[in-house]
């Protein structure tokens, strides 16, 4: 039998029809929906007089537009309010489970899927949102789709797609203390470029990936698309299974055992040849930070700002050739579907515990979901944050994108744990520096870009390290 990559195995399992032009109709196991990209698709469905084919395989949440304070009595702009109420109406009409604002299972779509056990190995998962690639951390084919494709899935639970090529990125060795999954993915994008993944689906493999918690793997897969890839995945293993067991919607009892025996088979064949293969050593990775206006503009925190992109330099207000360390920052944003999970908040809290936020720094610490918010309270993270001068907000996409009230003012510098630093992403004129929660914590205490390895302090959450196990 021909050797296959994990991606190809999953694709073949879900292929309903193979067309002459090389494209396929694939079956979709899970469809996540949020308030921004769904209204037009629901309207299209209605216009064509079609029913929502499999509402039980869809899950909806509110995340992009909602405020991250005062959710019990939310104040929203007219457009945001309209999108939120449309989602409510559409879900009620079509019988779709909705985790709306203040619901105990509400949160960012790519945070709640995994934490509720709705994302499971071997699935095909789509959402009208680019960072659907996050779910690939569980050994799924997960990718973002456009509005017309959302409508296609609503109507048929299937999707017409061209099969991407396969790439494997192997990362051998171990990440150093103070270096996280976020640093790893920023490093990979800086080495390979933002177009390297175009036309490919990436499998992340190697010792460094195996040593990551599920949260870390999600961070890596989340940003696979910033390399231009259709998505990224990691073969499931014991770390995956330990994460999923006893989640709300995970199978249980005999069904768990059955599922587990299937999940254990999900891996690429040993002798399979990928269309492209790249290899890196984790020990080469330092804490990373972006200096420019795309996620490929990452440099080690000890590095020098390049001088070859005058437009980006002008936007960022920097001179090329200067050290990035010690540059002043104004805002810190910890959150998003990249780094808004409990492990991220633990890392941030463990770093700031017993210290004080720098004067003049505004910090938004935003849990990725209601469950993360609750857990942060129960574990004492909120208390640590408060004592250090920080405040835990309510869940949402927040300052990841300028669609709600959490906007960074023009000209201000924000260390952000999110995934995109495009011009205006966090607000018109906002200057975004992508980094890990640890690097964000170091900057929050000093008011300047700082190397988190200078003082990694052991606390009750343990010394922050790349092998810290997450929420198991
Ligand atoms: S946190 Fe940011 S990247 Fe993630 S779903 Fe929300 S807006 Fe998109």
DSSP track, 360-409:
T-EEEE--SBHHHHHHHHHTTHHHHHHHTT--B---S-GGGSTTSS--PP
How much distance in Å is there from the Cα of 135 to the middle of ligand 1? Answer: 13
Query: How many Å apart are CA 58 and CA 153, to the nearest integer?
Result: 10
The pick from 35, 38, 63 for probing ligand 1's pocket by mutation, whose C-beta has the most ligand atoms within 8 angstroms, reads 63
Across the range 97-104, mean pLDDT stands at 97
pLDDT at residue 396 above 50? yes
Ligand 1 neighbour 108 (Cβ under 6 A):
yes
- Atom of ligand 1 minimally distant from the CA of 338: 4
Ligand 1 neighbour 135 (Cβ under 6 A):
no
- The predicted pLDDT at position 456 comes to 52
The pick from 60, 108, 125, 335 for probing ligand 1's pocket by mutation, whose C-beta has the most ligand atoms within 8 angstroms, reads 108
Ligand 1 neighbour 106 (Cβ under 6 A):
no
pLDDT digits (tens, 9 = 90+) for 205-234: 999 999 999 999 999 999 999 999 999 999
Across the range 434-461, mean pLDDT stands at 85
- Please tell me the number of Cα atoms within 13 Å of 78 on its side-chain side: 0
* Angle (nearest 5°) at CA 306 between 401 and 185: 50
pTM: 0.96
Query: How many Å apart are CA 352 and CA 350, to the nearest integer?
Result: 6
Round the average pLDDT of the chain to a whole number and report it.
95
pLDDT at residue 459 above 80? no
How much distance in Å is there from the Cα of 16 to the middle of ligand 1? Answer: 31
Q: Which helix (H) or strand (E) holds 365?
A: strand 362-365
Residue that is written with structure tokens 């099969």 in the block: 163
Residue that is written with structure tokens 């390297």 in the block: 196
Distance of CA 268 to the CA centre of its chain: 24
Banded pLDDT at 466 (limits 50, 70, 90): very low
First to last CA, the chain: 37
Ligand 1 neighbour 403 (Cβ under 6 A):
no
In 3D, which of 71, 197, 207 has the Cα closest to residue 143? Answer: 197
How much distance in Å is there from the Cα of 337 to the middle of ligand 1? Answer: 6
How much distance in Å is there from the Cα of 396 to the middle of ligand 1? Answer: 9
- Atom of ligand 1 minimally distant from the CA of 63: 6
β-bridge pairing 15-18 and 23-27 = antiparallel
For helices 39-47 and 147-156, angle between their N-to-C axes, nearest 10 degrees: 50
pLDDT digits (tens, 9 = 90+) for 245-291: 999 999 999 999 999 999 999 999 999 999 999 999 999 999 999 99
Residue 182 phi, psi dihedral angles, 5° rounding:
-65, -40
Pick the CATH number of 6-278 from 3.30.499.10, 3.10.180.10, 1.10.1200.10, 3.90.1150.10: 3.30.499.10
- The predicted pLDDT at position 270 comes to 97
Do 421 and 290 touch, CB atoms closer than 8 A?
Answer: yes
The pick from 126, 333, 344, 397 for probing ligand 1's pocket by mutation, whose C-beta has the most ligand atoms within 8 angstroms, reads 397
Query: How many Å apart are CA 147 and CA 460, to the nearest integer?
Result: 45
CATH number, span 288-455:
3.30.499.10
Query: How many Å apart are CA 293 and CA 287, to the nearest integer?
Result: 18
Banded pLDDT at 454 (limits 50, 70, 90): confident
Ligand 1 neighbour 35 (Cβ under 6 A):
no
- Atom of ligand 1 minimally distant from the CA of 403: 7
pLDDT at residue 467 above 50? no
Task: Return residue ranges of the chain for CATH 3.30.499.10.
Answer: 6-278, 288-455
pLDDT at residue 335 above 60? yes
Query: How many Å apart are CA 394 and CA 364, to the nearest integer?
Result: 10
- Cβ neighbours of residue 2 closer than 8 Å, sequence gap 6 or more: none
- Atom of ligand 1 minimally distant from the CA of 109: 5
pLDDT at residue 352 above 80? yes
Ligand 1 neighbour 63 (Cβ under 6 A):
yes
């Amino acid at each position: 039998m021909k050797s296959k990559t994990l991606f190809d195995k999953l694709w073949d399992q879900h292929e309903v029809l193979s067309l002459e032009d090389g494209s396929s109709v694939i079956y979709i196991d899970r469809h996540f929906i949020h308030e921004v990209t769904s209204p037009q698709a629901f309207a299209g469905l209605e216009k064509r007089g079609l029913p929502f084919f499999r509402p039980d395989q869809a899950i909806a949440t509110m995340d992009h537009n909602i405020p991250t304070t005062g959710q019990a009595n939310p104040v929203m702009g007219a457009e945001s309010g309209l999108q939120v109420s449309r989602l409510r109406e559409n879900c009620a009409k079509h019988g779709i489970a909705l985790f709306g604002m203040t619901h105990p299972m509400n949160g960012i779509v790519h945070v709640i899927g995994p934490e509720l056990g709705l994302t499971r190995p071997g699935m095909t998962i789509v959402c009208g949102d680019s960072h659907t690639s996050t779910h690939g951390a569980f050994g799924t084919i997960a990718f973002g789709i456009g509005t017309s494709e959302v409508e296609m899935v609503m109507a048929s639970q299937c999707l017409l797609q061209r099969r991407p090529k396969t790439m494997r990125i192997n990362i051998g060795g171990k990440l150093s203390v103070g270096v996280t999954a976020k640093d790893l993915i920023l490093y990979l994008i800086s080495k390979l470029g933002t177009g390297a993944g175009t036309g490919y689906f990436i499998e992340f493999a190697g010792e460094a990936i195996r040593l990551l918690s599920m949260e870390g793997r999600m961070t890596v897969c989340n940003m696979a698309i910033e390399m231009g890839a259709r998505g990224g995945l990691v073969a499931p293993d014991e770390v995956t299974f330990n994460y999923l067991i006893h989640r709300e919607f995970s199978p249980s009892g005999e069904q768990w055992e059955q599922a587990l025996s299937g999940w254990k088979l999900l891996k690429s064949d040993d002798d399979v040849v990928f269309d492209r293969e790249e290899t890196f050593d984790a020990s080469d990775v330092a804490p990373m930070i972006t200096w420019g206006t795309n996620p490929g503009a990452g440099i080690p925190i000890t590095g020098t700002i390049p001088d070859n992109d005058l437009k980006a330099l002008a936007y960022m207000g920097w001179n090329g050739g200067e050290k990035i360390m010690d540059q002043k920052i104004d805002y810190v944003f910890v959150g998003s579907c990249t780094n808004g999970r409990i492990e991220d908040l633990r890392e941030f809290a463990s770093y700031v515990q017993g210290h004080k936020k720098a004067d003049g720094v505004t910090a938004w610490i935003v849990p990725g979901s209601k469950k993360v918010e609750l857990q942060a309270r129960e574990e004492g993270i909120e208390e640590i944050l408060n004592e250090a001068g920080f405040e835990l907000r309510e869940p949402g996409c927040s300052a990841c994108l300028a669609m709600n009230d959490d906007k960074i003012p023009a000209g201000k510098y924000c260390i952000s744990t999110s995934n995109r630093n495009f011009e205006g992403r966090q607000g018109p004129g906002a200057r975004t520096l992508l980094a890990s929660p640890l690097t964000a914590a170091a900057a929050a205490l000093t008011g300047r870009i700082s190397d988190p390895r200078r003082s990694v302090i052991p606390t009750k959450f343990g010394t922050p390290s790349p092998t810290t196990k997450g929420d198991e």
